């Protein structure tokens, strides 16, 4: 196992990333073969950076994705207003 990590240093130093612009992770950087679709807020592992593209892993899928469509900061869940429990329910 350790030998495998030494041979693939990009995986050994993977960093978390979050999708900020939905799109498809492509199997190869210069082809349009979709590896996996990514939605806003999806957490991925960035395993390799190559210019304006990054190689990401989501679950068991790997793909190339635009670096500008990722953030190193996790999204913050919106907090409900303090009086949300008292808000009236409107029915059509």
Does this model's pTM top 0.95? no
Sheet architecture: strand order including 53-58: 34-38, 23-26, 61-66, 53-58, 43-50, 15-19, 70-71
Q: Domain for residue 85, yes or no?
A: no
The verdict on residue 82 lying in a domain is no
SS3 89: coil
Task: Give the structural domain span for 24.
Answer: 9-74
CATH number at residue 16: 2.30.30.40
Residue 89 counted as domain residue: no
What is the total count of domains within the chain? Answer: 1
Note the pLDDT tens digit of each residue in 12-51: 578 999 999 999 999 998 888 999 999 999 999 999 999 9
The dihedral sign for the CA sequence 11, 51, 34, 45: positive
Express each pLDDT in 1-23 by its tens digit: 444 444 454 445 789 999 999 99
């Amino acid at each position: 196992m350790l030998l495998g990590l030494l041979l693939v240093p990009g995986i050994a130093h993977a960093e978390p990333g979050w999708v900020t612009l939905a799109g498809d992770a492509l199997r190869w950087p210069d082809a349009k073969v979709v590896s996996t679709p990514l939605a806003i807020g999806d957490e991925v592992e960035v395993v390799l950076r190559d210019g304006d593209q990054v190689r990401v892993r989501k679950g068991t899928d790997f793909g190339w994705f635009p670096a500008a469509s990722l953030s190193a900061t996790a999204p913050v869940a919106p907090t409900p207003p303090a009086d949300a429990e008292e808000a009236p329910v409107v029915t059509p």
